[in-house]
A and B are shown apart, each in its own frame.
Chain A
Amino acid sequence: MNYRPVIAVVQREVLKLFRQRSRLLSAMIRPLIWLLVIGAGFDAMLGRTGADSYKYFLVPGVIGMAMLFGAMLAALSTVYDKESGVMRMLVIAPFEHYWIVIAKVLGAAIAGIIQAVLLLVLLAILGYLGIEIRWGVLLLALVMTALACASLGILTAAWTPTLDNYAVIMNLVIFPVFFLSGSLYPVAQLPDVLRTIATVNPYTYAVDLLKHANLSMTGPGFTPDFSVTTDVAVLGAFVLVATVVACLRFSQESRYSVLIHVLARKGGD
């Protein structure tokens, strides 16, 4: 396998990210709303200020959010590629079809990381970042989180025939994954049922890893729930399993998708 096809897919993903300005803009605004509006609102309600305040707690969560939305949507563009016909270029290319999945995961992860880094820059300008950031852990957290979100996206895409189901995906995949993680509250303080769900949600470990990076000045109540090793192990296992399952599903499906697509639209031949 030549490395060029993978670069081609990644390059196209990045190109499209910067070309769709509105997508990039909303990717920055969504986390900022959580931070500036909801964070500030809760702080006012709880009467908290300074290093202990809720908005600082939210920082790792919103960085994760940028990647959850960014990488997932990029991976879901695979469905759009099928609909628009670009997938034909990929399935007719001279490599095994599982490479399409691997390349898409990498492209989506890189798109996610770019968005997270842009958001980090914005947060630094706004004064939300502390001075004791653990850069190594941050890098690890960005890569693992982006890969996990991208592979979750490709797994969803493999079972999504058309983007008409977009709202369904939002409501059934993205929102539950986000809300049932440690993004908005420490997992340890959740009620039993929710804590159990959060514990099996791989995204919980992504946010936890981001908390380890010490992005903002963490107060006493804001310590991570799991160890770095646990986080990386869970995320790594999830990425592997999700990608392999998507590859299997895809190499079955791609043999038929082109034709089925033509049949559905032309009603024959």
Chain B
Amino acid sequence: MMRDAPDFAKYLAVHSDGLTKRYGETLAVDRLDLDIPTGEFFGLLGPNGSGKTTTLHMLSTLVRPTSGQAIVAGYDIGRRGVKVRGAIGVVFQDSALDRTLSVWENLRFAGMLAGLSRSVIRERASELLDLFGLHDQFDQPVGSLSGGMRRAVDIARGVIHRPQILFLDEPTIGLDLPNRKKIWRFIERLRAQTGMTVLLTTHYLEEAADCNRVAFIRKGRIVKSGAPQVLIDGLGNHVIEIEGDKLDGIVNELKGPLGDPILEEDRASFRFSGSPAELAALQASLSPRVTGVKVRRPNLNDVFLWVTGTDAISRRPGERGVRAAR
């Protein structure tokens, strides 16, 4: 059993040790080890069903782990649930707002639940709505707001009590691009203003590029972690996408020098780290043999594809998840 460690919270906002959740036969989260330093913007990335939400629910004390422990803001999630909940803010995948009440009534409700006085709530609500450009919506019923505005209000709801740590579960899911960008600006502003630790989950990997550090989770396990740029640079300088009907020959030819490709139906993607001259030469030699060659910069999506793609090939039974430490 882990002890509470308030001093810990100065350095580590979240620390988990072998955190596991099993639902019947399904292993939702598998011996997850996580260390998130205080003040960090951390992204937990992975496809739907990989265990991100379950992890978040365990860390926010709403789901009891099957085994393993975690300390959040210096408190054990198993024994000090109330203390943990007082130190965190959670924005769930689905809205937690009451659509029949106004924006102000929702924020007041959330603030009072956190034990704040009316005047403090009023001050912070108006501060947050200013920050998010929603001041005119103060008295409007939440049900009448657009999806993007509702999400922004839900985020305001999650931080009205100024938590040390903010958990954001897919904050931009279901929103269109302009609104997604807006939500990111709000989160940036919040972080700049409060310096709070943010733990984000998303499956839009390109959105996690601003994180200090990300961890890729797959089938409940962390398969790779690190700073986004370091991970991207580690992949190579370029990604070469080759399109054509009969790629088998080319794939076998390039596999040796360039490493395992990501194969889709009529497309093969390779990593490339050579010089611009070498790249041009390769492009020239490939062009006549295929229908298309595309060269682009790698991104976090590629990191994930190669991690999970090659992981499936090279993983041995019983191998333990990679520890997500600095």
How far, in Å, is A268 (CB) from chain B's closest CB? 4
B94 at interface, CB cutoff 8 A: yes
A89 closest partner in B (C-beta): B96
Bound-state CA distance A258–B106 (Å) is 19
Q: Is A12 a contact of B85 with CB atoms below 8 Å?
A: no
Interface flags for B93-123 (1: CB within 8 Å of A; 0: not) read 1111111110001001110111111000000
Residues of A within 8 A of B98 (CB): 12, 84, 86, 89
Count the B residues whose beta carbon is within 8 Å of the partner chain — how many?
40
Residues of A within 8 A of B113 (CB): 4-5, 8, 89-90, 93, 95
**Chain B contact residues, CB within 8 Å of chain A:** 48-54, 57, 60, 62-64, 81-83, 85-86, 88, 90, 92-101, 105, 108-110, 112-117, 157
Given contacts A89-B157, A259-B62, contact A94 B114 (CB under 8 A): yes
Q: Is A259 a contact of B101 with CB atoms below 8 Å?
A: no
Q: Is A269 a contact of B86 with CB atoms below 8 Å?
A: no
Q: Is B115 a contact of A16 with CB atoms below 8 Å?
A: no
Bound-state CA distance A12–B60 (Å) is 25
Q: Is B85 a contact of A269 with CB atoms below 8 Å?
A: no
Bound-state CA distance A192–B72 (Å) is 61
How far, in Å, is A23 (CB) from chain B's closest CB? 12
Q: Is B100 a contact of A19 with CB atoms below 8 Å?
A: yes
Given contacts A89-B109, A92-B85, contact A262 B53 (CB under 8 A): yes
A257 closest partner in B (C-beta): B62
Bound-state CA distance A268–B53 (Å) is 9
Q: Is B57 a contact of A15 with CB atoms below 8 Å?
A: no
Residue among B93, B95, B99, B113 with max Cβ neighbours from chain A (10 Å): B113
Report 13 cross-chain contacts, Cβ distance below 8 Å, ordered by A residue. A4-B113, A5-B114, A5-B115, A12-B109, A15-B105, A16-B101, A84-B99, A85-B97, A88-B90, A89-B109, A95-B82, A256-B63, A258-B57
Residue among A89, A93, A256, A266 with max Cβ neighbours from chain B (10 Å): A89
Interface residues of A in 1-38 (CB under 8 A from B): 2, 4-5, 7-8, 11-12, 15-16, 19
Residues of B within 8 A of A12 (CB): 98, 101, 105, 109
Q: Is A93 a contact of B97 with CB atoms below 8 Å?
A: no
Given contacts A8-B109, A90-B113, A94-B82, contact A262 B62 (CB under 8 A): no
**Chain A contact residues, CB within 8 Å of chain B:** 2, 4-5, 7-8, 11-12, 15-16, 19, 84-86, 88-96, 254-256, 258-259, 261-262, 265-266, 268-269
Bound-state CA distance A261–B85 (Å) is 20
Bound-state CA distance A89–B113 (Å) is 8
A-B Cβ contacts below 8 A, count: 100
Residues of B within 8 A of A262 (CB): 53, 92-94
Residue among A12, A85, A88, A90 with max Cβ neighbours from chain B (10 Å): A88
Residues of A within 8 A of B85 (CB): 92-94
Bound-state CA distance A89–B48 (Å) is 24
Residues of A within 8 A of B117 (CB): 4
Q: Is B53 a contact of A259 with CB atoms below 8 Å?
A: yes
Q: Is B94 a contact of A85 with CB atoms below 8 Å?
A: yes
Q: Is A268 a contact of B114 with CB atoms below 8 Å?
A: no
Bound-state CA distance A94–B115 (Å) is 8
Bound-state CA distance A85–B142 (Å) is 13
Residues of B within 8 A of A16 (CB): 100-101
How far, in Å, is B74 (CB) from chain A's closest CB? 14
Given contacts A16-B100, A93-B113, A269-B50, contact A259 B92 (CB under 8 A): no
Bound-state CA distance A268–B98 (Å) is 25
Contact with A4, one of B49, B52, B90, B112 (Cβ below 8 angstroms): B112
Bound-state CA distance A94–B93 (Å) is 20
Residues of A within 8 A of B99 (CB): 84
Residues of B within 8 A of A254 (CB): 62
B87 closest partner in A (C-beta): A94
Residues of A within 8 A of B100 (CB): 16, 19
A93 closest partner in B (C-beta): B113
Q: Is B110 a contact of A89 with CB atoms below 8 Å?
A: yes
How far, in Å, is A182 (CB) from chain B's closest CB? 37
Q: Is B53 a contact of A269 with CB atoms below 8 Å?
A: yes
Q: Is A85 a contact of B62 with CB atoms below 8 Å?
A: no
Contact with B112, one of A7, A19, A258 (Cβ below 8 angstroms): A7
Bound-state CA distance A82–B112 (Å) is 19
Bound-state CA distance A137–B103 (Å) is 41
Residues of A within 8 A of B115 (CB): 2, 4-5, 94
How far, in Å, is B174 (CB) from chain A's closest CB? 11
Q: Is A94 a contact of B86 with CB atoms below 8 Å?
A: yes
Residues of A within 8 A of B96 (CB): 85-86, 88-89, 92
Q: Is A86 a contact of B97 with CB atoms below 8 Å?
A: yes
Residue among A88, A90, A259, A269 with max Cβ neighbours from chain B (10 Å): A269
Q: Is A268 a contact of B62 with CB atoms below 8 Å?
A: no
Bound-state CA distance A86–B101 (Å) is 11
Residues of B within 8 A of A256 (CB): 63
Bound-state CA distance A84–B92 (Å) is 13
How far, in Å, is B95 (CB) from chain A's closest CB? 6
B90 closest partner in A (C-beta): A92
Bound-state CA distance A84–B150 (Å) is 14
